[in-house]
Chain A
Amino acid sequence: MTTNGDAVKVVPVRHVGQWIGAGVVTLLVAMLIHTLFSKLPSGQYSCSLVSGVRTCHQISVWRFSWTIVGQYFTTSEILHGLVTTLELTVLAMIVGIMLGMTIAVMRLSPNRILSSTAWTYTWFFRGTPVLVQLLVWYNIAILYPVISIGVPFTHLTLVHFTTNTVFSAFVAALIALGLNEAAYMSEIARAGLIAVDEGQIEAASSLGMTRRQTLRYVVMPQAMRVIIPPTGNEVISMLKTTSLVSVVGVVDLLGAASNIYSANFEEMPLLIVASIWYLIVTTILSTGQFYLERHFAKGALRSPPPTPLQRLRRDLVGILSKFRSRRGTLEVVR
């Protein structure tokens, strides 16, 4: 901006309310961090004899028992539990995504039997708590003691086995979580499929693509942009939902932690161990989700969103230049 040909500095607005808010929050965060690393008196004393004088002082320990957390953080029991948690998350999500996609496509089918079956599936599996479903699958042998594969409604059977030999606690948990997830995934996938513009489908048809080709080459890739973000949430949610499986005796991350603390009574440190592991995995998953979203945004955005590193660099440059210009501005005000 210029007046009479001279450059005039611009004085930015002072956000006093924001500064006070930021100050209060900073203080509270500092207090919290302080308690994280503070110590408590343990009630135990250590005494020493120095030149005939006995001096005693109370031993203090970390409030959050970091020493014990450190001790158990990478024990094989916890790591085995972590692997089980990851296996369950991945496998249940694979079941959920595959089945969910199928149900979504069925739901959108012009065939009434297919679409109403899909609707009923979602209604049922979303309508009952996942913990109940888990217990039902674990006890499924009560309803179906034997499983046989053959021609329906005849006595011809090819394979025949007792349910309990196949349905281990892990398999029951996997099926329960996977089928439940499929109900949610089908709604997410359906939203994605609907979000694709009708014109895209018409254009594909006008090129002579079959319905299947249109779905695969035109609709799905564009639906992914809508499907990926909520699916990322589902993966993270699944990671934590797997902690329910300890009720049917699967030793996952939480199960391993609780096995240990039921023996040594160190509940808090072991719950912290489990929490930190959950946080680590969640962080890794979120990062993966970001790059996946960026990949599928191709063509939808004129320029892809910056990566966290790019954003950090831009923020730093922004703060530095703001700082410089503000100094310059102050001189003018003075």
Chain B
Amino acid sequence: MSDAMVEARGVHKSYGGVEVLKGVDLTVVRGEVTCLIGPSGSGKSTLLRCINHLEKHDRGELRVDGELVGYELRAGKLYERNDKQICAERSRIGMVFQRFNLFQHLTVLENITIGQTKVKGVSQEAARAKARELLDRVGLHDKEKHYPSQISGGQQQRVAIARALAMEPKLMLFDEPTSALDPELVGEVLDVMRDLARSGMTMIVVTHEMNFAKEVANTVYFLDGGVIEESGNPREVLTSPKTERLQSFLSKVL
């Protein structure tokens, strides 16, 4: 087993003629936290969505846990994976969205059990037990009967993290998890993520929280215009940026 959880080599993606990713190379080491930073429209979210195949990349090689995303290499040919295989792949990759995307018609507890029971076939009992354990971990054990609309944004995002963790993912993707939150609610979500990082989870985080990146990330990648402009140790990259673009970006966000 190689120690790379995610490997991207020359990944391209366009939307209707507009090239969003123009050949991205990236390596995410197992058990490490990788932060993707960059201006909006730089392709950070698209790259994240290609990794769990919510978007199909057009060109290049993208591997998760050694396996090609969306394709299978057999006898020199790339076979597109069918829906079932893609779903199985996705179920092992947790994703947390900017706008939480909790299932509005289900209670907090049901949000966390539904993936376990319907996708993994876990019994209702076991799923509930696991959900309660996770709610405890994100500090929301008293909210299990609430509907998403009845709790704050920060609480919703913590539930969303618990929902993803319930699938026992080998990799967690965070797409600007704190961007839609009121400033005073950002901290509680970052705390949960810090805790998760400490537990050894492999994480890719698209974020504008530079302090979080500096403190938690092992590697940071700066994307601009669909390519990686700079990468490396966050303390070096974020404190003494080499490229002009990163310098001007950091001067705007810090």
Q: Mark A residues whose CB is within 8 Å of B.
A: 197, 199-200, 202-211, 213, 217-218, 221-222, 225, 296, 298-302
Contact = CB atoms under 8 A, between A and B. Distances in A.
Interface string B72-111: 0000000000011001111111110101011111110000
A135 to B, nearest CB: 43
Contact of A199 (B91, B99, B114): B99
A298 B115 CA distance: 20
A220 to B, nearest CB: 10
A289 B91 CA distance: 38
Given A206-B164, A302-B149, A218 B97 contact: no
8 contacts: A199-B99, A202-B101, A203-B103, A205-B90, A206-B164, A207-B114, A207-B163, A299-B104
Contacts of A222: 103-105
B99 A300 contact: no
A183 to B, nearest CB: 28
B126 interface: no
Interface string B147-162: 1111000000000100
B105 A207 contact: no
Given A213-B118, A302-B150, A206 B52 contact: yes
B118 A217 contact: yes
A37 B90 CA distance: 71
B204 interface: no
Contact of B103 (A210, A218, A302): A218
A208 B167 contact: yes
Contacts of B89: 208
A206 B100 CA distance: 12
Contacts of A210: 83-84, 87
B54 interface: yes
B118 A199 contact: no
B147 A298 contact: yes
Nearest to A296: B105
List 8 A-B pairs, minimum CB-CB distance, nearest first: A208-B91, A207-B115, A203-B101, A299-B147, A206-B95, A199-B101, A208-B119, A208-B90
Nearest to B167: A207
A299 B87 contact: no
A209 B148 CA distance: 20
Contacts of B93: 206
Nearest to A300: B104
Contacts of A299: 104-107, 147-149
A62 B87 CA distance: 72
Nearest to B120: A208
A296 B97 CA distance: 25
A205 B103 contact: no
A64 to B, nearest CB: 48
Main secondary structure of the interface of A (DSSP, over half): helix
B90 A211 contact: no
A212 to B, nearest CB: 9
A213 B99 contact: no
Contacts of B104: 200, 222, 299-300
A204 B103 CA distance: 8
Contacts of A211: 83
Contacts of B114: 207, 217
Nearest to A303: B150
Nearest to A211: B83
Given A207-B167, A300-B105, 9 more contacts: A200-B101, A202-B97, A203-B97, A203-B163, A207-B119, A209-B115, A211-B83, A222-B103, A299-B106
A200 B103 CA distance: 6
Nearest to B93: A206
A213 B99 CA distance: 22
Contacts of A296: 105
Nearest to B96: A206
A296 B115 CA distance: 21
A332 to B, nearest CB: 42
A76 to B, nearest CB: 46
A209 B54 CA distance: 12
Interface string B123-166: 00000000000000000000000011110000000001001100
Contact of A207 (B83, B91, B150): B91
Contacts of B91: 207-208
Contacts of B92: 208
B177 to A, nearest CB: 13
Given A299-B105, A299-B147, A202 B87 contact: no
Contacts of B163: 203, 207
B119 A209 contact: yes
A128 B51 CA distance: 49
A299 B206 CA distance: 29
Interface in B158-184: 160, 163-164, 167
B113 to A, nearest CB: 11
A130 B119 CA distance: 44
Contacts of B87: 205, 208-210
